[in-house]
Amino acid sequence: MVRLPPPLLEVLAQLRRAYPDKFPKEDYFPLLAVLKTDMSEENLSKVVAEFLDDETVVIANDSAKAVTVSRPKREEIARVRSRLEAAGWRPEFEDED
């Protein structure tokens, strides 16, 4: 377990509130795309790796794919963004799809 600073712990808590049960595989790339609009690659990788119990390097590579070759559909991004916002996530920057 990585020791996260308080702001990242809050994002982790929001992810856990948004997905209290099993995380659906189809939300993976949309989640990365949504978070990438407001987080550095390093912070995104740390938080999502902790949330999904994965390696930060895998998350970092996949987050790059989420905004390029594996970019999710707008509807998928909107669905995940809505779920995160319902759990308390507030983006600092608005994504321009």
pLDDT tens-digit readout, 22-68:
999 999 999 999 999 999 999 999 999 999 999 999 999 999 999 99
* Domains in the chain: boundaries: 25-86
Taking 80 as the threshold, does the pLDDT of residue 86 lie above it? Answer: yes
The fraction of the chain above a pLDDT of 70, given in percent, is: 93
The fraction of the chain above a pLDDT of 90, given in percent, is: 87
Mean pLDDT of the chain: 92
CA distances from 22 to 8, 74, 85 (A): 21, 23, 18
Position 24 scores a pLDDT of: 97
Widest CA span in the chain: 34
Distance CA 38, CA 20 (A): 22
Residue partners of 4: CB distance under 8 A and separation at least 6: 12, 46, 47, 50
Position 1 scores a pLDDT of: 59
